[in-house]
Structure 1
Amino acid sequence: MKIRPLGDRVVIKKIEVEETTKSGIVLPGTAKEKPQEAEIVAVGPGGMVDGKQVNMEVKVGQRVLFSKYAGNEVKIDNKDYTILKQDDILAVIE
């Protein structure tokens, strides 16, 4: 199944954080922080959003940092994705 976001929305797949610390301690699921790093899977066309012209500044395949509690989590074909607005992306990792 293919996802095509609308407007200024972006579909990302979170990059999972390590389950052990550098000292070798295994973290239980409740102690882990939500990941804030992701790979872009799909990008909307941009265009007019709320009366303003929005140009998309990100591309599919880029790694990004995003706001911790941003977006809506969805499950498609047993894979977890997050759909969020471009404004919720904080930086591109190069």
Structure 2
Amino acid sequence: MSLKPLGDRVLIKPEAAEQKTASGLYIASNAQEKPQRGEVVAVGEGKLNDNGERLPMDVKPGDKVIYGKFGGNEVKIDGEDYLLMRVDDIYAIVE
């Protein structure tokens, strides 16, 4: 893949949506909740501050993150689904 996010944007590979409940019932695809966890695939260079200096990014490729349910834009690259979002839409890094 040759996609480089710009500025403070991050490319995330979402985890697969849950297909079964804890009790073993299958969930219809239109009733599945969008995942809010994923893995960072690529990051931009960072946001510019008022002095024109780049602020460091809080995440790096390979980080597992939790992000906002409705954050980002869905993009399809090489047949795979990804989310392109601002780093501010990421709530936490899972360690």
TM-score when scaled to structure 2? Answer: 0.91
Cα deviation code 1:11-55 (max 9, x no counterpart): 000001331111110000111111000000001111416x37532
Could you list the runs of 5+ residues in structure 1 that have no partner in the other structure? none
Which of structure 1's runs of 4+ aligned residues deviate more than 6 A? none
For the residues of structure 2 that align with 1:30 and 1:47, how far apart are their CA atoms? 36
Which amino acid in structure 2 is aligned with residue 71 of structure 1? Answer: G
For the residues of structure 2 that align with 1:31 and 1:75, how far apart are their CA atoms? 22
Could you list the runs of 5+ residues in structure 2 that have no partner in the other structure? none
For the residues of structure 2 that align with 1:83 and 1:14, how far apart are their CA atoms? 10
TM-score when scaled to structure 1? Answer: 0.91
Tell me whether 1:32 sits opposite 2:60 in the alignment.
no
Mapping for residues 2-21 of structure 1, pairs under 5 Å: 2-21=2-21
The number of residues matched between the two structures is 93
| Displacement of 1:2 | 1.4
- Aligned equivalent of 1:80: 81
Percent identity of the aligned residues? 47
Mapping for residues 62-81 of structure 1, pairs under 5 Å: 62-81=63-82
For the residues of structure 2 that align with 1:56 and 1:9, how far apart are their CA atoms? 9
Mapping for residues 46-57 of structure 1, pairs under 5 Å: 46-48=46-48, 51=50, 53-57=54-58
